[in-house]
Structure 1
Amino acid sequence: MGMTLPLDRIVARDGFTALIDALGGAATTRLVGGVVRDTWLGLDPADVDLATRLLPEAVLAALQAAGIRAVPTGLAHGTITAVLPSGPIEVTTLRRDVSTDGRHAIVAFTDAWAEDAARRDFTMNALYADPASGALFDYFGGLADLEAGRVRFIGDPYRRIAEDHLRILRFFRFHARFGDAVDAEGLAACAARANDLMALSRERIAAELLKLLVARAAVPVTALMIEHGILRAVLPEITDATALAALTAREDAVGIAPDAIRRLASLIPADTAEAVGARLKLSNADRKRLVAASQGPGEEGPRALAYRVGTASAVDRLLLAGDPVDDVVGWTPPALPITGGALVERGLRKGPEVARVLRRVEAAWIAEGFPGEPRVAQLADEAVAAALTPAISDSASAASRGLA
């Protein structure tokens, strides 16, 4: 086709040229997949992956001979990670599938580029490029699909889904990122085989879903998935994308970056957040955040909320509720400028009463909008005086009874 990939930013990576040379140059090794796709679109690729005709043991030996640190991250599947000064690069021997079960594949190594391309999921991910000249190799019309914004399975979609059920979610994630008009054949296959998702680990489902939710077209694609029952078997709680649409509009309006956990919270009923977080095996931090985001902002005011739950959680709750976030974005909640020791100095006895009075001071301080130390000192004086008054009255009463 004569088309070439601009290599400037890739070649500029520290150690890249030495790595290609160590692997035998363009005769044995090519750029592959996302780095080709994204670079062609003018995007900065997150990762650089290489495909090579060399067997894994030969890759290890070549890197070690060149003084490049090599980590056998996926040796059984042919993947060696080369650790360069500019970051890691995965080097994978060309493969073909021997057998698949929807979750795992048994592979055999090959030296045929077309065989390696044929086992990939979508045409836009089966693009290769010469690392020296940038010459492109496109075995299944991936460039045309990329230009048309069309995510298309390589070969029969039903067969590709049977090989790896996660491709159902990947179809929608890539459509949300790159798609324009949805590929009808791929959509039909995903809808027909949606129940296959039940065979996957929930961690894999969560990883794909969270990436999808921050993609460019997350809202219409999520609505498309709901319409076709894609998530019904694994996340029946997700039935409507209206709240997600409202949330993304608010994020855009105030210039807040999209966040997958916040967007997931918009898709599920509040009382299901704990169950959904557990089912998806989210990290403890993400699970707590999902539950917190679903609890609503309450009536205490934006900054009081941010002081109590943290700025990030407050932003989540306010955005989800449709409340203004101007008062908390970029605001760091202050620390209460007084301690229990200062209350003891004012006459309180050490013990539980100190903590109770300190909480009263804090509540008044929050209610007044976090005033400075002079006002806090006044609040402390008033709170201590109020706490000591009953004790003084009780002492006086006891004394009077004794005189009587």
Structure 2
Amino acid sequence: MAKTLPAAEWTKRPALAALVAALGNGNARWVGGAVRDTLLGTPVSDIDCATPLLPEEVIARLKDAGIRSVPTGLAHGTVTALVEGGNVEITTLRHDVSTDGRRATVKFASEWKDDAARRDFTINALYADPDTLEVHDYFGGLADLEARTVRFIGDARERIREDHLRILRYFRFQARFGADLDEEAEKACSELAETLEALSRERVGWELLNLLGLPDPAPTINRTHELGVLQVVLPESGKRELVKLAELIEAERRTRTAPDGLRRLAALLPALPTIAISVGKRLRLSRQQCGRLGCAAERNDQDQADPRALAYRAGIECAVDRLLMAGADLSAFEGWDLPDFPLKGGAIVQHGIKPGPQVARILSEIEDQWIAEGFPDNLRVSAILESKLAQE
């Protein structure tokens, strides 16, 4: 008996029905993550569509139907339809002609199975008919999904040689969906781990942060270390950092704090700002992300002494990162907003102090005392000011 896709909300969207009608009968099937996640009963974010139509024909048919589109990847057969409820990537059936581990040269195909054969894992090669919701499975993806097995299509080593990033993708999918690690996949990932060095750092960084952002990636990250994979992409991480990651995840659970891939990356790095920032730059992270890694790496034993003072000086985000990595709770921040220092240099000048270094010093000393006293009100700040001026 054929397997059918549950009638999830997204399958009933009028905009998607209009898109399917525009492409024509039998020319569209949902594929990949939307199909997989619907079968698992998990939320669907992106919707992808496969079609035997060539990109130019897709564009023409969408235009005739009044649907806007963007040619986002014509060389690889992808056109993005701009529709209500979320854009849809429509990609022509294809198979790889040549690959170098980083990019592929493709040839358009006419058979659905040819398209499925070039995908990475069996659970990602499931197609669903938009009209009947019948699921088309060419490589045992349904059985693997039921068994929670992440398995490469065909020979694992061949799939990895086609795209080296599939090593990290395997572990990400394993951490998200898998039950037991696949022995053949593990061997292939370990043997070909060094090929990750050929990838752009942006791709590695993106994949790593997505893996770390999953509910509990610690067991999988530990396994990547045992297999020699983590050492290739993050040689700064050792056994001590692996323990720190597990402790952080436990602290997040205990405080009901949402998973954060960047915070967890910080836990996998030594508490040395220069190293943390250099890793961020190597992975082509943004300046803001590098700064956050560097701030988290400044963690020390005094962080828990005054969490609010830490938040004021380092920022609430960094304070949360450092406190969680120390295993502390976040109760100090409940019902509390980061205050603004109520005193300006002009108020000191009005008391007869000439503008310059002396004003800056007095202002800094008053701010330090204000923080130490727990951010008292303006009346207390005025009293501190008067006291300081009397000492000048």
- Give the alignment's TM-score, normalised by structure 1: 0.93
Cα distance, 1:361 vs structure 2: 1.1
Distance 2:53 2:203 in 1: 30
How many residues are paired up? 386
Cα distance, 1:200 vs structure 2: 0.6
Q: Which residue of 1 aligns with 2:311?
A: 306
The answer to whether the aligner puts 1:3 opposite 2:3 as a matched pair is: yes
SS at match of 1:81: strand
Distance 2:376 2:173 in 1: 50
Distance 1:217 1:99 in 2: 36
Q: Please, which moves more after superposition, 251-260 or 333-342? A: 333-342
Cα distance, 1:171 vs structure 2: 0.6
Unpaired runs of 5+ residues, structure 1, are 388-404
**Cα shift readout 1:323-351 (whole Å, capped 9, x = no counterpart):** 33221356321001122222222332233
Q: Please, which moves more after superposition, 237-246 or 72-81? A: 237-246
Cα distance, 1:7 vs structure 2: 3.0
Distance 1:329 1:227 in 2: 40
Distance 2:113 2:152 in 1: 15
**Cα shift readout 1:18-38 (whole Å, capped 9, x = no counterpart):** 11111114x110000000000
Q: Which residue of 2 aligns with 1:112?
A: 111
How many percent identity over aligned positions? Answer: 53
Equivalent of residue 385 in structure 2, options 377, 380, 386: 380
Give me the CA root mean square deviation.
Answer: 1.3
The answer to whether the aligner puts 1:370 opposite 2:381 as a matched pair is: no
CA contact (8 A) 2:3 2:135 kept: yes
Superposed counterparts of 1:20-39, under 5 Å:
20-25=20-25, 27-39=26-38
Q: Residues 297 and 305 of structure 1: is their aligned pair in 2 closer, same or farther, counting only changes over 3 Å? A: farther
- Give the alignment's TM-score, normalised by structure 2: 0.96
Q: Which residue of 2 aligns with 1:334?
A: 339
Cα distance, 1:297 vs structure 2: 4.6
Runs of 4+ residues deviating >6 angstroms: none
Q: Please, which moves more after superposition, 265-274 or 310-319? A: 265-274
Unpaired runs of 5+ residues, structure 2, are none
Superposed counterparts of 1:122-271, under 5 Å:
122-240=121-239, 241-271=242-272
1:225 maps to a residue whose letter is T
Distance 2:149 2:207 in 1: 19
Cα distance, 1:14 vs structure 2: 5.2
1:234 maps to a residue whose letter is V
Distance 2:35 2:200 in 1: 29
Q: Residues 327 and 213 of structure 1: is their aligned pair in 2 closer, same or farther, counting only changes over 3 Å? A: same
Q: Please, which moves more after superposition, 28-37 or 258-267? A: 258-267
Q: Residues 8 and 180 of structure 1: is their aligned pair in 2 closer, same or farther, counting only changes over 3 Å? A: closer
Cα distance, 1:382 vs structure 2: 0.9
SS at match of 1:233: helix
SS at match of 1:131: coil
SS at match of 2:60: helix
Equivalent of residue 365 in structure 2, options 360, 363, 371: 360
**Cα shift readout 1:215-248 (whole Å, capped 9, x = no counterpart):** 2340100000001101222321122221111000
Distance 2:232 2:135 in 1: 40
CA contact (8 A) 2:221 2:230 kept: no
CA contact (8 A) 1:311 1:329 kept: no
Distance 2:232 2:47 in 1: 35
1:99 maps to a residue whose letter is S
Equivalent of residue 344 in structure 1, options 340, 345, 349: 349
